[in-house]
A = this chain, B = another copy of it.
Amino acid sequence: MTAGPLSAEPLVSWRPGATRDAILEFVNQVTTPGSSSYVPPGERIAVIEHDGVLIPEIPRVQGVFTLQRLRTQRDRHPEWETLMPFRGALEIGERFFREVDPETALVVMAATHSGLTQSAFRREVQSFWRTARHPAHGVAWSRTAYLPMQELLDLLRSQGFRIFIVTAGSADFVRAISQDMYGIPPERVIGSQVETGLVEEDGQLELRRIPGDVLLVDGAQKVLAIDSQIGQRPLVAVGRARHGGDIEMLRYSERLGRPSLQLLIIHDDFERDFALFDEDPESLAAAARGGWRVVSMRWEWRRLFAFEPLPEALQ
């Protein structure tokens, strides 16, 4: 793959300043032949979290899907009315997925996302994405991709990078829209997965989703999954400053004495989107040690969504 020229104004939704300059300078360094920091196209790998980085994290879209499945299946599972954590999710609704730890959320997801074949599950997910609307923004959920991140994907792609989504969320859930929303094909989505087993149905081999253990791709497991499925150390990593689940992935993309790029996104735009103000100190400390760029959505992104009116600075 040969790299094309940078577009006339890349990262136009990013505020001019140190972070935007650092990204452009890094991309220029590693893609300029003859530069001492040059990295051949084959090694230009970027890994990016999904929830809270490419798309708003509140409410969690997969949480909403899970609740929908929980409610349609509750008649067949009377035990859920009393059994935790299912009872909690049914009573509290979407906020449940915001407040519990990832392992507890996974118990509910695993139970509601299993029992069907992969083909049937993928049809359910696709049908959800076709109709789901974001409750706060009032647009189709599939239109809530953050515009500055889309511009970053475009910039990296134009310079020969292969981009992978590496998410603690369900791989199958994100794969349903990764091509349409981000131009990222399903095989470049790495994420948490339930177990599957091979079965024969109507003379054809099918995979059935087994309730039980889930492989949670978070923390150190993200690095193991990157190594196992990509087989190379990434050059760019973008994560978010919550739970510390992206620290290992970002650290793994650091290269001793050679340039690499790490962005740590802070979900702090309480006016245009939603803010939690719960950045974990460990992620911020790791950013300071590693020289990562900490990206405040509120400050660094002039425009969040394509459906937003063009702000004055961009008119």
Which A residues have a C-beta under 8 Å from some C-beta of B? 42, 45, 118-119, 162, 164, 171-172, 175, 179, 185-189, 193, 196, 198, 202-205, 207, 220, 223-224, 227-233, 248, 251-252, 254-256
Closest to A175 in B: B231
Contact A231 B162 (CB under 8 A): no
Q: With a CB–CB cut-off of 8 A, which chain B residues contact A231?
A: 171-172, 175, 186-187, 189
Closest to A252 in B: B205
Complexed CA–CA distance, A175 and B228 (Å):
11
Q: With a CB–CB cut-off of 8 A, which chain B residues contact A118?
A: 227
Q: With a CB–CB cut-off of 8 A, which chain B residues contact A179?
A: 42
Contact B162 A256 (CB under 8 A): no
Q: Which of B172, B193, B227, B256 contacts A203 (CB 8 A)?
A: B256
Q: Which of B45, B162, B172, B248 contacts A205 (CB 8 A)?
A: B248
Q: With a CB–CB cut-off of 8 A, which chain B residues contact A252?
A: 205
Complexed CA–CA distance, A67 and B248 (Å):
35
What's the least CB distance linking A3 to chain B, in Å? 16
CB within 8 Å for A224 and B198 given contacts A42-B185, A162-B185: yes
Closest to A230 in B: B187
Give 10 A-B pairs besides A187-B188, A207-B224 with Cβ atoms closer than 8 angstroms: A45-B187, A164-B187, A171-B231, A187-B229, A187-B232, A189-B231, A198-B220, A198-B223, A202-B256, A205-B251
What's the least CB distance linking A208 to chain B, in Å? 11
CB within 8 Å for A248 and B42 given contacts A187-B230, A193-B228, A231-B175: no
Q: With a CB–CB cut-off of 8 A, which chain B residues contact A232?
A: 186-187
Closest to A186 in B: B231
What's the least CB distance linking A290 to chain B, in Å? 10
CB within 8 Å for A256 and B223 given contacts A189-B231, A228-B193: no
Q: With a CB–CB cut-off of 8 A, which chain B residues contact A186?
A: 230-232
Can you spell out 22 A-B residue pairs with CB atoms less than 8 angstroms apart?
A: A42-B185, A45-B187, A164-B187, A171-B228, A171-B231, A186-B231, A186-B232, A187-B187, A187-B188, A187-B229, A187-B230, A196-B227, A196-B228, A198-B220, A198-B223, A202-B256, A203-B256, A204-B256, A205-B252, A205-B254, A207-B223, A207-B224
